[in-house]
Amino acid sequence: MKLLIIGAGGVGTSAAMILKLAGKEAAWAEKVILADYDFSRAKKVAALCAGPRFAAEWIDARDGETIGALIRKHGINFVMNAVDPGFNKTIFDTCLENGAGYLDCALSASVPDPEKPFERVNVKLGDYQFARHEAWKEAGITAIVGSGVEPGMSDVFVRFASDRLFDTIDEVNIRDGDNYTGGGFFGFSVITTIEECLSPPIVWEKGRGWFTTERFSEPEIFSFPGGIGNREVVNVEHEEVVLVPRVIDCNRVTFKYGLPQEFRKLLLNLESVHLTDNNIKIIVGGEPVSPREFLVKVLPSPVESSGAMTGRGCAGAWITGDKDGKRRSVYIYQLADNQECVKKYTTNSVVAQTAVGPVIMMELIDKGIWNLKGVYGPESFDPGPFMERLEKYGFPAGMREMDSEYAEAQDRRYLSSMFRA
């Protein structure tokens, strides 16, 4: 595969470092072009990878002509979009025009209902991309959308549970939490965090379809593994709720995130003084920028400030349903320690977790193991080969069998087997 990674920020850097550290296991990536509007940043990452496969280029992700020229210059056959979702449409369309495969970590943006934003959906996450499925299919190329950790790895976990752990599924509940301290509030893209936390949260139910709720609604306490423990989680807008019910037969899908109450208050306060607005323009240093863009400029870079964080982050899918006539409940997850990721990949655990899924998916595409043509989410593919590779790339998954009838029956069988002759 001749790969173009657009964006040399945290996710792009992590993906490149994962490829470098995998050595011969990642030989399928024969060429890796790291491209960024900040050329110095792209050059820095290429130098960090220090190998003949890696090279840096300047790119303007807003300009399809620039992207297309770079694809043609290097004979690129696959593009990893590692920039903010606001660039998705341009990169996605340019890849189709140039016959290059495509992968991103977040779907094209939603547009809230103008009259009842906290009750009903309007334009959903990914609608723009899925509407072009037939064009990609006819072109014989693959676009995998929503392919980071959440969404991405979490969707694979759900498909794995559906295929191998359950006879029927009732609820799919994505749960994300951490025990990070230090490094400030933003451990990931400021823009992405604002958009997913302040957009109307989306829920899916069989018979009702997709609908929205109030921000930070339905708080609950979820116990995370790895020493993180109990965390309050709340509804936010997220791609799994759009992706999972397209493929997995279930009754309800939610996404809840462990947002501290003080961070929720901060976001709402920023919104109240219009600092999260992206539609109006103000002049800063002679340059027109939106208040949100101004906020990004004045806040400390999440990539840099989060390097001081300690603690672990957990991303996972909590699935409930039936197995062998009994109720079952499991949580499949991936844990990452921040300081370990900083030491190994030079990036924080949030972006390192986000990057490993795309690397694995691109390997599976290159080797023809994942071979659907068109526009798909990760839950559309065989999860087995992905799950096998998580440990190879340094991000093993875990599973917690939650309290249930099925777990109790398994415990009784295990105890009985100890005393059999």
Q: For residue 246, what is the domain's CATH number?
A: 3.30.360.10
Instruction: Mark 7-46 as b/e (b = at least 16 C-beta within 10 Å).
Output: bbbbbbbbbbbbbbebeeebebbebbbbbbbeeebbbbbb
Structural domain tally of the chain?
Answer: 1
Distances from the Cα of 259 to the Cα of 2, 262, 266, angstroms? 38, 8, 11
pLDDT of residue 158: 98
| Residues in the chain with pLDDT values less than 70 | 184-185, 187, 420-421
Beta bridge partners of 36: 58
Residue 39 lies in a domain: no
Tell whether 3 is covered by a domain: no
**Inside any domain, residue 378:** no
Q: Which residue has the tokens 């130098």?
A: 47
Residues across the chain: 421
The per-residue pLDDT for 187 is 67
Tell me whether residue 389 is in a domain.
no
Assigned domain for 212 exists: yes
Whether 365 is covered by a domain: the verdict is: no
Distance (Å, whole) CA 411 – CA 55: 54
pTM of the model: 0.94
**pLDDT computed for residue 420 by the predictor:** 67
Q: What pLDDT sits at residue 217?
A: 96
The pLDDT value recorded for residue 155 is 98
Asked if the structure places residue 203 within a domain, the reply is yes
The three-state DSSP-derived secondary structure of the chain is CEEEEECCCHHHHHHHHHHHHHHHHHCCCCEEEEEECCHHHHHHHHHHHCCCCEEEEECCCCCHHHHHHHHHHHCCCEEEECCCHHHHHHHHHHHHHHCCEEEECCCCCCECCCCCCCCCCCECCCHHHHCCHHHHHHHCCEEECCCECCCEHHHHHHHHHHHHCCCEEEEEEEEEEECCECCCCCCCCHHHHHHHHHCCCEEEECCCEEEECCCCCCCEEEEECCCCEEEEEEECCCCHHHHHHHHCCCCEEEEEECCCHHHHHHHHHHHHCCCCCCCCCEEECCEEECHHHHHHHHCCCHHHHHHHCECEEEEEEEEEEEECCEEEEEEEEEEEEHHHHHHHHCCCHHHHHHHHHHHHHHHHHHCCCCCCCEEECHHHCCCHHHHHHHHHCCCCEEEEECCCHHHHHHHHHHHHHCCCC
- Nearest-angstrom CA–CA distance, 56 and 14: 15
Q: Is residue 287 part of a domain?
A: yes
**By residue range, what is the domain housing residue 229?**
148-348+396-407
Question: Do 140 and 133 meet the contact criterion of CB atoms below 8 Å apart?
Answer: no
